[in-house]
Structure 1
Amino acid sequence: MAAEHQRAYARFRHEPIAREGFAFELAASFAGPFGVSRMRHTGRFRAWVEPPETLIVMEVLGGGLWIADRDRDVAARVMLAPHWSPHSAGWDTVDLRMTTLDLDEVARVGAEISGLEPSGVTFGTMTPRSAALARYWTDLVDHVDRALLAHDELMELPLMHAEAMRQLVAGVLAVFPNSTLDHHREPDHEAVEPATVRRAVEFMDAHAHEDVSLTQVAEAARMGPRGLQAAFRRHREQSPLDYLRRVRMERAHHDLQVGDPTRGDTVGGIAARWGFANAGRFAVDYRRAYGHSPSDTLRR
Structure 2
Amino acid sequence: MSNIGFALFLLGMVAIAVFILMGLFSLIKKNGKAKKRFLFAGVSLAVMVLGAVFMVAFQTDEEKALNEERRIAEVKAEKAQEEKDKAKAEAAAKEEKEKKEAAAKKKAEEAKKEKEEKEAAAKKKAEEAKKAKEEKEAAEKAKAEQVAKEKAEAKKKAEQKAKEEAEAKEKAKQEAAAKKKAEADKKAKEEREAKEAAAKAEADKQASAQTIRYAQMIKNPDRYAGEYVKYRGEIVQIQEGDDMTVIRLAVTQESYGWNPNEVIWVEVEGYTDFVDEDIVTVYGTVVGKHSYTSQAGWEITVPAMLADTVE
Given the two structures, how large is their TM-score scaled by the length of structure 1? 0.15
Higher relative contact order, structure no. (Cα contacts within 8 Å, ≥ 6 residues apart): 1
Q: Which has the higher helix share?
A: 2
Which is greater in Rg? 2
TM-score (norm 2): 0.14
